[in-house]
Amino acid sequence: MAEVLDGLSQQQKSVSPKFFYDERGSRLFDEITRLPEYYVTSTELEILREHGAEMASYIGEGAALIELGIGSPEKARRLLDHLPDLGWYVPVDISESALDRATRELRAAYPELEIRPICTDFTRPLALAGLDDVSKRVLFYPGSTIGNLDPEAASAFLARLRHTHLQPGDGLLLGGDLQKDIAVVEAAYDDAAGVTAAFNKNLLLHLNRRFEGDFDPGRFDHVAFYNAELGRIEMHLRSRQDQVVTLGGRSFHFLEGETLHTESSYKYTTKRMQTLAGGAGYCQERFWTDRRRYFGVWYFSAC
């Protein structure tokens, strides 16, 4: 709770995007991934479909594949189909319901595979005891989630993963959204059907349940825009009126037009991503992209 209350106390009020993902939020995000405007998931799946076998060759036999933020198991399946001799698959997610659904589906599809789900906030150290007898560990961090972090925080997060969970020669398979036409990006985060708006506002309902709040989503509007100076799309909830909201026993004042910043998603150049990972202790081995160069997947080894 302290993290949320601190964010709401800042001049620019903010809440971490990890609070999007209660059960309803996970379902809404699954719906977002199928929208025509939202190119991110379909493009990454295209890359995994076309290059999954080569990616699997970098992971190798007897490895532990640890997926951070599984959500839907579709991406994992693009790799697991090419990894019959994988040692362990470890899906990690903060949403217990999403993790349970994905684990059941994958156990049914790969009955011989050792699957060890972990329900936790993966920004904190993971309990990976028992994975020391594998050939190596490979962290799989798909989607554009790395872009939710400011560059300094992203570098610190990758460095923490490197030094807490990986040894030299272990790997990181990392997805990242690439810079592109601003109109394409903005449409992806403000779809015509309003699903992203519902997803954004659902965060308020999640906060109400978790921390005894009284946010009224009807008093906020969904706003998404590209910040060209910082190279990121931003999502906000803009207050439609002057109002006071209580959460966790504390009161927070919103002025009409004031926003609650709920998500940033940085868009990378290949050079910028390589520099970011290199500074965190990784060496680039391979890079894959789609024909439009909308999205990228990198394989880094731990240096």
User: Residue ranges of the chain with pLDDT lower than 50?
Assistant: none
Instruction: Tell me the per-residue pLDDT of 50-83, one tens digit each, with 9 for 90 and over.
Output: 999 999 999 999 999 999 988 778 999 999 999 9
Domain boundaries, the chain: 2-35+182-266, 39-180+267-302
Q: What's the pLDDT score for residue 210?
A: 95
Residues pairing with 247 in the sheet: 250
Quote the pLDDT of residue 102: 92
The model's pTM is 0.89
Domain 39-180+267-302 has CATH 3.40.50.150: yes
Backbone angles phi, psi at 72, to 5 degrees: -90, 145
pLDDT digits (tens, 9 = 90+) for 185-217: 999 999 999 999 999 999 999 999 999 999 999
| Burial of 171 per CB tally in 10 Å (0-12, 13-18, 19+) | buried
In the structure encoding, which two tokens stand for residue 295, read together? Answer: 């999205």
- Characterize 138-165 residue by residue with b for buried, 16 or more Cβ atoms within 10 angstroms of its Cβ, and e for exposed: bbbbbbbbbbbbebeebbebbeebbeeb
